Amino acid sequence: MVDVKGFVIDNPNEGVFRVHRSAMTSPEILQMEQERVFNKCWLYLCHESEVDNPGDYRRRNVAGRPLFFVRGVDGKVRVFLNTCTHRGALICRRDQGNADVLQCFYHAWTFNNHGELIGVPDEAGYGKGFKRAEMGLKSPPRVESYRGFIFISFNPDVEDLVTYLAGAKDYIDLVVDQAQEGMRMISGSNRYFIKANWKLLVENSLDGYHVKPTHKTYFEYVTSLGVNTGAVQTAFSRPARALGNGHAVEEHDGIRGRPVARWSPLFGEETKEEIARIRARLVQKFGEERTRLMADVSRNLLVYPNLMIIDSIDITVRIFWPITPELMEVTAWQLAPRGEKDELLARRLDNFLTFHGPGGFATPDDVEAIESCQAGYKAEGVQWSELSRGMHREAIAEDELQLRAFWRQWYGHMLGLWKVDTNDPVVRERSVLAS
């Protein structure tokens, strides 16, 4: 254990917010994060649509632990530790599939898709101490879902998921409410590794300040398509928000079309009517203001510690795990309304490919940027990263309040605290005055 006291300097009166760079390089810090962050919080596992049919299963690692989830014949999604209760072998050895029973290949113990042990070869070989009913597959201590997003926690005492989500819950609603028949995860995922500390992707994903300089070639491309990108100069002036428990959101005005529900000439005349119909449905159900928030405003939402829901020209769900202090694994998926018409789905996928993903026109440069930060830390002589932007004012998307919200929660967890106030004092005082 290292003494992390003083790793974050948070002094609003002086306008100083700094993070010690060893937070991104130290193996001891990563070990503490495993215990104090990843073993304590709710962690995103999957979307329920990934196992739509009874028997559908997928395996996935969460915080380095092999898990799998399966929809039982009763329709319920269950999550299991991917290890045989006998001697430990992985039960689920394919990335995905469909099965009524799951058999461990080592000694052929067989489990049904509810996790019950239903077959043990030569069971008579065991004595009375062997209780088959107690040898079912084990689940993580807590499994809960919110509107299709399934989370697990290795902390049996963690608060319920909705309480944990705090203000992030409303933003998940803004995403899911876009769909009439619920959301589904599109097949195909982006799985890539970045040679950087995982927290740098939290920063990058919430950071409105880097968008214009880093992604110049993206905006040049979009301009070449005929989109007026002049609006991007002011797009990042919406207030940034800390949402409690380390969650945060960076919102900005969309400059491109989106299938729900903002038509753009790039989408072609043939989609105009359908998008207008979707927009009218949203207005009828949620009113003008909320529809505008859904269709015209984009947002990058962090569900602390490591889930990003990027609700912009597409809906990207991105999760990332530390492998070492200087290496992370990223997986990203695309969420879309069930039943979305083919031509709108095609535009959605197109939007994703231009910006997001390892082959996009922007994400590779984000990878480069944070790998570059990690490489720069080796210079050592500069000990602190500077994150005070906008601390003296009501912070906007181009400021760093949303990054500070993450860091304040992280620092609290590392000090062994559970609840901390993650907002900037300026915003706290304003909201007190307003009430």
Residues that bind other proteins (CB under 8 A): 95, 186-195, 214, 216-217, 220-221, 224, 329, 333-334, 342, 345-346, 349-350, 352-354, 357-359, 361, 363-365, 367-369, 371, 375
Task: Point out which residues pair with 101 in neighbouring strands.
Answer: 112
CB of 192 to other proteins, least distance (A): 4
CB of 353 to other proteins, least distance (A): 6
Q: Helix H segments across 85-242?
A: 161-165, 168-176, 198-206, 211-214, 216-224, 232-235
Q: Where is 372: in which H helix or E strand?
A: helix 363-377
Q: Nearer to other proteins by C-beta: 96 or 180?
A: 96
Q: Nearer to other proteins by C-beta: 240 or 308?
A: 308
**Residue 329 backbone phi and psi in degrees, to 5:** -110, 130
The two beta strands, 327-337 and 315-324, are antiparallel
User: Is residue 302 a contact partner of residue 205, using CB atoms and an 8 Å limit?
Assistant: yes
CB of 248 to other proteins, least distance (A): 25
Q: Nearer to other proteins by C-beta: 282 or 369?
A: 369
Looking at residue 230, the DSSP 8-state letter turns out to be G
CB of 352 to other proteins, least distance (A): 7
Determine the Cα–Cα distance for residues 419 and 409; give it in Å rounded to an integer. Answer: 8
CB of 225 to other proteins, least distance (A): 8
Q: Nearer to other proteins by C-beta: 148 or 357?
A: 357
CB of 308 to other proteins, least distance (A): 16
CB of 198 to other proteins, least distance (A): 14
CB of 64 to other proteins, least distance (A): 15
**Residue 177 backbone phi and psi in degrees, to 5:** -65, -15
Q: Nearer to other proteins by C-beta: 187 or 228?
A: 187
Q: Where is 385: in which H helix or E strand?
A: strand 384-386
CB of 77 to other proteins, least distance (A): 20
Q: Nearer to other proteins by C-beta: 221 or 286?
A: 221
Q: Nearer to other proteins by C-beta: 190 or 388?
A: 190
Q: Helix H segments across 197-295?
A: 198-206, 211-214, 216-224, 232-235, 272-295
CB of 330 to other proteins, least distance (A): 9
Q: Nearer to other proteins by C-beta: 112 or 374?
A: 374
Q: Is 212 exposed, middle or buried (0-12, 13-18, 19+ CB in 10 A)?
A: middle
Q: Fill in the amino acid letter for 415.
A: L
Determine the Cα–Cα distance for residues 124 and 318; give it in Å rounded to an integer. Answer: 48
Q: Fill in the amino acid letter for 267.
A: F
Of 281, 228, 223, residue with least CA distance to 253: 228
Determine the Cα–Cα distance for residues 107 and 157; give it in Å rounded to an integer. Answer: 35
Q: Nearer to other proteins by C-beta: 245 or 351?
A: 351
Q: Fill in the amino acid letter for 137.
A: L
Of 374, 65, 362, residue with least CA distance to 194: 374
Determine the Cα–Cα distance for residues 279 and 73; give it in Å rounded to an integer. Answer: 37
Q: Nearer to other proteins by C-beta: 227 or 427?
A: 227
Helix/strand/coil for 301: strand
For 58-95, the DSSP string reads: EEEEETTEEEEEEE-TTS-EEEEESS-TTT---S--SS
CB of 237 to other proteins, least distance (A): 23
Q: Nearer to other proteins by C-beta: 184 or 408?
A: 184
